[in-house]
Structure 1
Amino acid sequence: MARVAADERRRLLVQAAIRVMAREGVAQATTRAIVAEADMSLGTFHYCFRSKEELLEQVITTITSHTLAPALEIISGEGTFEEKLRGGLAYYWQHVLDNPDEHRVTYELTQYATRNPALAEFARTQYRTYLEAQTEIIERLATTAGITWKVDDAVLARYLTAILDGLTLLYLNEGDAETAGAAVDLAATQLLGLVEQQG
Structure 2
Amino acid sequence: MTRLAAEERRKLLVDAAIRVMARDGVPRATTRSIVGEAGMALAAFHYCFRSKAELLERVAEEILARTLSPAREIVTGEGTVEERVRSGVASYWGHVVEHPDEHRLTYEITQYASRTAGLEVLARHQYRAYVDAHRSLLEALIEHDELTVARPVEDVARYLAAVVDGITLLYLNEGDADAARAALDVAVDHVLGLLGR
Q: TM-score, normalised by structure 2?
A: 0.98
**1:142 corresponds to:** 142
1:118 CA drift (Å): 2.4
**1:80 corresponds to:** 80
Indicate yes or no: 2:51 matched with 1:51: yes
The alignment partner of 1:104 has SS state of helix
Runs of 4+ in 1 over 4 A off after TM superposition: none
> Which whole-Å CA distance do the structure 1 matches of 2:188 and 2:131 have between them?
18
The alignment partner of 1:118 has SS state of coil
1:146 CA drift (Å): 1.9
Q: TM-score, normalised by structure 1?
A: 0.97
Q: Deviations over 1:34-78 (max 9, x none)?
A: 111111111110110111111111101100000100000001111
Structure 1 alignment gaps of length 5 or more: none
1:176 CA drift (Å): 0.7
> Which whole-Å CA distance do the structure 2 matches of 1:22 and 1:143 have between them?
37
Output the amino acid matched with 2:104: R
Output the amino acid matched with 1:185: D
The 5-angstrom pairing of residues 173-192 of structure 1 reads 173-192=173-192
**2:168 corresponds to:** 168
> Which whole-Å CA distance do the structure 1 matches of 2:25 and 2:43 have between them?
23
> Pairwise CA RMSD of aligned residues?
0.8
Structure 2 alignment gaps of length 5 or more: none
The alignment partner of 1:40 has SS state of coil
The alignment partner of 1:28 has SS state of coil
Q: Deviations over 1:108-161 (max 9, x none)?
A: 111111110021211011111111111110001111122111111111110000
Q: Percent identity?
A: 57
> Which whole-Å CA distance do the structure 2 matches of 1:2 and 1:111 have between them?
37
**2:29 corresponds to:** 29
